[in-house]
Structure 1
Amino acid sequence: MMFPVSRLFRRLARISAAGLVLAAGAAQAETVDFGLSNDSFRFGLTGPLSRLIGGAQGQYDLGYLQHRDNGDNSYAVHAGFLVSGDAGLRDLDLTVGAGLRGVYVGGDGDNGGAIAPGVRFDARLPGYERLGLGGYAYYAPSVVSFGDIDDYRDIGVVLSYELNRNAAVYVGARNVKFGVEHGHDVTLDTGLYGGIALTF
């Protein structure tokens, strides 16, 4: 029973990702993100949520994470959205958001997915806007997980520096882990990584 659901979720994720990539071709304010560590890479595409929902404050978020280590070849693909805005602090430019992420995990081992609620923040000091501190956390318990996946979490923190208005470099740390039914938790990726973000 789980296999058809997994296949349907994978197809929906691919269709939605392809649709958003095509829609982004003619858009402005889309950001392409590419991050690397010794064992993994993550590709991301984000853009204004108002392109999909008129007047909405926030962003859509697409991503693909690939991990290869000691013969293990696993991946996670996600599509989600965040509704975000200014937190209203006087001495800190703080943007916070909350949203949902649909994720599918596959590869050599267990396969399945989840619907994960999450939060994200980006903080910058007035007068030093080029330097930013960001973070995020997503978690899905077993009740919103399917296939072989019993739960899912993705947490991370990032320190970024804008080289110019359209390019930034960053370093960060993340932990991506999922539980397996009748098995041990599996760490898809953990540790330090670096990357670039390009805004068009």
Structure 2
Amino acid sequence: MKAFRISFVFLSLVSSAAFAADADISLTNDSAKGQINFFGATSDMQLGAGYTYQESNHRIDNVHVGNLDFHAQGRTAVGNLPTTAGLGFRAIGWDTDRLDGGAVGLGGFATVNIPDAPGLSFTGGLHYAPSILAFGDSEDMTSLELRANYRVIRNAEIFAGYRYLNTDLENRRDINLDEGVIVGMKLFF
């Protein structure tokens, strides 16, 4: 069943390539995530969609997480380092056998390129949704992803990093919907 879900994520990404600017797939020890972004880094806007499957652990059942992203983006510089940054929204919905919820997080992302090391870049993204923007069993939500990227060829890169997706529940406990060291690849179309 696990191989079926990972294959489903991969096939969804491949079939969407005609409409996408880039697609990536990333894995942790317990999860697989596919993400499609519809506009390139030179566009003024970014629209993306993703799906994550997290295997059950001792605290929660299998988790299905979907996200829709909408950001204004542009080119800037951090010091003398060329950077692509975006500010906007990430809508996240999640479901398990016993619980479900979601939120609309405010935040953004930045990708910093290192000119002295061609192909090397660092990406970080953070979105937070307070209780007013949460629904279902969620009281708030935090989404964080940090990664180091290396462009292997003109239209593909590999990456490694860390992903954290957490929500507080109505009964005051919190659960990590996805957390761990990630590895993956990104394809540019």
TM-score where L is the length of structure 1: 0.79
Report sequence identity in percent: 29
Of 148, 154, 161, 1:159 maps to: 148
Q: What residue is the counterpart of 1:9 in the other structure?
A: none
Deviation, structure 1 residue 146: 0.9
Unaligned regions of 5+ residues in structure 2, if any?
A: 1-11
Alignment of 1:109-128 (within 5 A): 109-128=98-117
Deviates more, 1:99-108 or 1:65-74: 65-74
Alignment of 1:62 onto 2:49: yes
Alignment of 1:142 onto 2:131: yes
Of 68, 76, 84, 1:87 maps to: 76
Distance 1:176 1:38, change over 3 A: same
- State whether residues 37 and 47 of structure 2, in contact with CA within 8 Å, keep that contact through their aligned partners in structure 1: yes
Alignment of 1:1-200 (within 5 A): 26-27=18-19, 30-48=21-39, 57-70=44-57, 72-89=61-78, 91-200=80-189
Which whole-Å deviations, capped at 9, do the CAs of 1:105-137 have from their partners, x for residues lacking one? 111232111111111000012243410101000
- State whether residues 92 and 125 of structure 1, in contact with CA within 8 Å, keep that contact through their aligned partners in structure 2: yes
- State whether residues 23 and 36 of structure 2, in contact with CA within 8 Å, keep that contact through their aligned partners in structure 1: yes
- What is the CA–CA distance in structure 1 between the aligned matches of 2:145 and 2:77, rounded to whole Å? 23
Which whole-Å deviations, capped at 9, do the CAs of 1:131-152 have from their partners, x for residues lacking one? 0101000110110111111111
- What is the CA–CA distance in structure 2 between the aligned matches of 1:177 and 1:44, rounded to whole Å? 18
- What is the CA–CA distance in structure 2 between the aligned matches of 1:105 and 1:26, rounded to whole Å? 27
- State whether residues 43 and 74 of structure 2, in contact with CA within 8 Å, keep that contact through their aligned partners in structure 1: no
- State whether residues 90 and 105 of structure 2, in contact with CA within 8 Å, keep that contact through their aligned partners in structure 1: yes
Aligned residues: 175
Deviates more, 1:178-187 or 1:71-80: 71-80
- State whether residues 74 and 109 of structure 1, in contact with CA within 8 Å, keep that contact through their aligned partners in structure 2: no
